[in-house]
Amino acid sequence: MRIAALCLRVADPVKLAEFYQNALGMTVKAEGANRRVGYTGQDADLLLIPGGGGYNHDRGQRYWKIGITVPDVDLAQAQLRDQGFQVGSPHQFLDIGYMCHLSDPEGFSIELLQHDFKDNRLQVAADPSAPFEKACIGQVTLRTGDIGAEDAFCREMGMRLLSIQDVEPYGFDLHFYAFSSDNPPEPDIWSVKNREWLWKRPYTTIEFQHIPGVQFSNVPDYLGIEVAGLMQPTKDAFGDPVLPG
């Protein structure tokens, strides 16, 4: 099994797919009125479904963002800015990762996350003319106030917990689950040494931003995830759809 797609309801699937293709190097496949965009590896696609419009993200929502992992965030950010897109400045966020952020034309949040911490990147990590050549949708990020319920559901589905990351200065922690038999380099699930390893995985993880006890609102334009190998549709611990992929 694997996470096959993130399903989003959008105003204009065709136009938005052009952004993901032209700006972020994804391929596009038409599925009726829908557009499936993604990279060619094991990671999840984005399934863009018509019927949305007026999406507005806030920190009180269950759905947050996708994380796109790349070898060199500086090259990726520079190419996007050269194309006229607004992208935040790359920075090393604590001992989590080297990253920057942007939004797609309909307002959905995107994080660009480097495979290595800022000072650990190879001098030539990526082709300057093709910074998204080795890109991967590495994370689908959801918020939760009840990590126990999320953990039970993920394990019941057959997912494994690969990493927990304490972001104590900001009052939350991060939990990463995947359909994978990979073993992190360090057996301590909290180990910082596992993080750069995690950012290099070729598949998509579910990342939970956990703030204990907080109630988050659903996002009508987040239509759940597809899981390849799932036989019957179900719902996750929050009640969002999990669909056969």
The domain limits of the chain are 2-244
Q: How many whole angstroms from its chain centre is CA 97?
A: 14
pLDDT at 54: 87
pLDDT at 107: 97
* Spatial CA neighbour of 148 closest among 212, 241, 214: 212
Q: What is the value of pTM for the model shown? A: 0.96
pLDDT at 16: 98
Helix (H, G, I), strand (E, B) or coil at 234: strand
Q: How far is it, in rounded angstroms, from Cα 19 to Cα 165?
A: 32
- Please state, as a whole number, how many other Cβ atoms lie within 10 Å of the Cβ of residue 221: 23
Taking the chain (245 residues) in runs of 10, the rounded mean pLDDT of each run is: 98 98 98 98 97 94 98 98 96 98 98 97 92 97 98 98 96 98 96 98 98 96 98 97 97
Q: Does domain 2-244 fall into CATH 3.40.50.300?
A: no
pLDDT at 162: 98
Long-range contacts of 50-53 (CB under 8 A, 24+ apart): 50/9, 50/10, 50/11, 50/12, 50/13, 51/9, 52/8, 52/9, 52/10, 52/11, 52/106, 52/221, 53/10, 53/11, 53/106
Q: How far is it, in rounded angstroms, from Cα 2 to Cα 235?
A: 16
